């Protein structure tokens, strides 16, 4: 086995709905008597040519229509954990999109209950400790996000934190100041997508206006030298997703990806899979493409894996065990 598949690592940027493989989409559609617009594997697979974030999001939300019961959410989550185990993931912080399910009439308890039932057995079954993060859709209103956060808190949903995802440009961090304040007051950890399609100001605003402890993506921070200096000085964790950035055309090619420059600037970067069923691979394929493209050696691979564990919200004892 290659070193990048066996190195203990944490996956910190993973949308559980983005792990729904085409085969499972068809299986769940059949189970739930749902007729899909692209009913065969070949037709469905033909939809996976993306030109930008929005063209991906359209398919990603459409495919969620097959998730109806707690068992559907549990099966999807267990399938991810099995794949992650094979990739050397020993700790996973998993995002889900509560609003995307509520908007389809699926109760919060169904989504959370199904995901959590799989996570509850994860350490025993797969050796993976986990945390669940509720991600809010930045193209919806802050009022909607606040209502859903209140519902999660009232239900004592087993979440460790909140995030911010979906269409970035035009939906800046300043839109969600009250949401993040309320989550912080509730003792939740704070992460946010920033600097994926949005410019470097989305990254600095996520830190300054939202108090984000970790930035998902953050690749466009590299365009602002002062911000790079700050991120390096504060060792702000950046959860980079190379194959995602290539497939969504955030970068032209993997060769043009800023990860090597981010590393040489002293940034605290780690490697993640984002939506692996959509972007051509789980975390080990992300590592393998970096090795193939940039010739990263053991030192860099160990640094990336170590960063992922240090940047996680795992208990200190668990981190020590994995480092």
Q: Which residues bind Zn ion (CB under 5 A)?
A: 274
Sole binder of ligand ES4 in the list 11, 70, 116, 196 (CB under 6 A): 196
Phi, psi of 120 (to 5 degrees): -60, -30
Sole binder of ligand ES4 in the list 14, 16, 53, 210 (CB under 6 A): 53
Residue 152 or 194: the one with the smaller Cβ distance to ligand ES4 is 194
Residue 95 three-state SS: strand
DSSP secondary structure, 32-85, as one string: TT---SS-SHHHHHTT---SSHHHHHHHHHHHGGG--SHHHHHHHHHHHHHHHH
CA distance 145 to 98: 9
Is 284 part of the annotated catalytic residue set?
Answer: no
Residue positions counted in the chain: 323
**Catalytic choice (196, 197, 223, 302):** 196
**Residue 312 contacts which entry, Zn ion, ligand ES4, none (Cβ below 5-8 A, type-dependent):** none
3-state helix, strand, coil in the chain (%, to 5): 55, 15, 30
The 57-96 site mask, x for binding ligand ES4 (CB under 6 A), equals ---x------------------------------------
Q: Tell me how far the alpha carbon of residue 228 is from its chain's centroid.
A: 22
Minimum CB–partner distance for residue 220 and ligand ES4 (Å): 13
Q: Is 244 in the site for ligand ES4 (CB under 6 A)?
A: yes
**Strand duo 189-194 + 214-217: pairing:** parallel
**Residue 53 contacts which entry, Zn ion, ligand ES4, none (Cβ below 5-8 A, type-dependent):** ligand ES4
For the annotated binding site for Zn(2+), the residues are 13, 15, 193, 274
Sole binder of ligand ES4 in the list 4, 16, 18, 163 (CB under 6 A): 18
Phi, psi of 16 (to 5 degrees): -60, -35
Residues that bind ligand ES4 (CB under 6 A): 15, 18, 53, 60, 165-166, 193, 196, 244, 274-275
């Amino acid at each position: 086995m290659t070193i990048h598949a066996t190195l203990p690592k944490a996956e910190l940027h993973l949308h559980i709905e983005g792990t729904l493989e085409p085969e499972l989409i068809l299986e769940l559609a059949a189970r739930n008597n749902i007729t899909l617009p692209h009913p065969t594997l070949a037709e469905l697979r033909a939809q996976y040519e993306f030109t930008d974030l929005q063209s991906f999001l359209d398919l990603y939300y459409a495919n969620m229509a097959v998730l109806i019961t707690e068992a559907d959410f549990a099966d999807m989550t267990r399938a991810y954990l099995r794949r992650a185990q094979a990739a050397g993931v020993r700790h996973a912080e998993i995002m889900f999109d509560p609003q995307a399910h509520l908007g389809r009439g699926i109760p919060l308890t169904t989504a959370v209950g199904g995901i959590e039932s799989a996570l509850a057995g994860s350490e025993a079954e797969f050796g993976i400790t986990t945390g669940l993060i509720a991600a809010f859709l930045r193209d919806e209103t802050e009022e909607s996000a606040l209502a859903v956060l209140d519902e999660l808190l009232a239900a004592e949903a087993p979440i460790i934190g909140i995030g911010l995802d979906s269409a970035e440009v035009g939906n800046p961090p300043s839109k969600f100041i009250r949401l993040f304040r309320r989550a912080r007051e509730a003792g939740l950890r704070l992460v946010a997508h920033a600097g994926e399609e949005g410019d470097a100001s989305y990254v600095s605003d996520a830190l300054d206006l939202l108090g984000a402890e970790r930035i998902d993506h953050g690749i466009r921070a590299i365009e602002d030298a002062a911000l790079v200096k700050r991120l390096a000085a504060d060792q702000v964790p950046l959860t980079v997703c190379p194959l995602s950035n290539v497939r969504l055309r955030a970068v032209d090619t993997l060769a043009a990806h800023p990860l090597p420059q981010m590393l040489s600037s002293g940034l605290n970067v780690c490697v993640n899979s984002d939506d692996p069923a959509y972007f051509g691979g789980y975390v080990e394929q992300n590592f393998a493409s970096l090795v193939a493209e940039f010739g990263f050696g053991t030192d860099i691979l160990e640094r990336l894996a170590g960063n992922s564990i240090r940047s996680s919200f795992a208990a200190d004892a668990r981190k020590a065990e994995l480092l």
